[in-house]
């Protein structure tokens, strides 16, 4: 078994190995990555209507039919009676852009649809980062005895430190 080329060069530099075996020549075969997915021969042989072409889908390798004028596609030949001609999936995906939350239809059972309550989000009602964990109902208004127990001194100090950090960053 011949020595690797890197080892041969090291040994030759030290004078241990007198002759170097020539590096084997590799044949480099260039590949054409710009393959045209349109099958012009099949398009001509199938007698497709004008501006229709048979194209191979690179993701699955199956042929589909494409109208270059209208940019419509079909998995079956346009001559086939079962053929359904539609926009491509990519175009349909782009057209169905995300609808904003304000444009969504309001559920009639949602309290914000029949009262003054604001419309909530996913984070509505979750504890805030700088909110002290008191165990008391923070939504309760009124005399102080309704909001007991008081927060622990450590929680107050952490909340104050967080508030001062955010104030310094602003």
Mean pLDDT of 8-15: 84
- Kindly indicate the confidence band of residue 13, based on its pLDDT and cuts at 50, 70 and 90: confident
pLDDT at 140: 60
Length of the chain: 170
What tens digit of pLDDT does each residue of 65-84 get?
989 888 899 999 888 889 88
Of 13-17, 108-112, 135-139, the range with the highest mean pLDDT is 13-17
Residue 142 has pLDDT above 80, yes or no: no
Structure tokens given for 167: 């104030």
Of the two residues 118 and 142, the one the predictor is more confident about is 118
What residue spans define the domains of the chain?
Answer: 40-94
- Tell me how many degrees the CA angle 11-12-16 measures, rounded to the nearest 5: 60
pLDDT at 40: 76
* Nearest residue to 132 via CA among 159, 165, 153: 159
Residue pointed to by tokens 């604001």: 118
Mean pLDDT of 44-71: 86
Task: Give the largest Cα separation in the chain, rounded.
Answer: 98
Of the two residues 109 and 13, the one the predictor is more confident about is 13
What tens digit of pLDDT does each residue of 81-129 get?
898 898 888 777 776 656 566 667 777 777 777 777 777 777 777 777 7
pLDDT at 133: 67
pLDDT at 1: 63
Do 55 and 61 meet the contact criterion of CB atoms below 8 Å apart? no
What distance in Å separates the CA atoms of residue 87 and residue 71, rounded to the nearest whole number? Answer: 7
Instruction: Please provide the average confidence, as pLDDT, over all residues in the chain.
Output: 76
The dotted CATH code for 40-94 is 2.20.70
């Amino acid at each position: 078994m011949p020595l690797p080329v890197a080892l041969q060069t090291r040994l030759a530099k030290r004078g241990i190995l007198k002759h170097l075996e020539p590096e084997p020549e590799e044949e480099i075969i260039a590949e054409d990555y710009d393959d045209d997915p349109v099958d012009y021969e099949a398009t001509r042989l199938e007698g497709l209507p004008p501006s229709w072409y048979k194209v191979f889908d690179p993701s699955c390798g199956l042929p589909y039919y494409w109208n270059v004028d209208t940019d419509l596609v079909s998995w079956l030949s346009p001559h086939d009676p079962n053929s359904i001609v539609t926009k491509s999936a990519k175009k349909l995906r782009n057209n169905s852009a995300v609808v904003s939350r304000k444009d969504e239809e309001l559920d009639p059972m949602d309290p914000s649809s029949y009262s003054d309550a604001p419309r909530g989000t996913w984070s509505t009602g979750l504890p805030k980062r700088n909110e002290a964990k008191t165990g008391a109902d923070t939504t309760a208004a009124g005399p102080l005895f309704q909001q007991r127990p008081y927060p622990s001194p450590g929680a107050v100090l952490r909340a104050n430190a967080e508030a001062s950090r955010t104030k310094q960053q602003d």
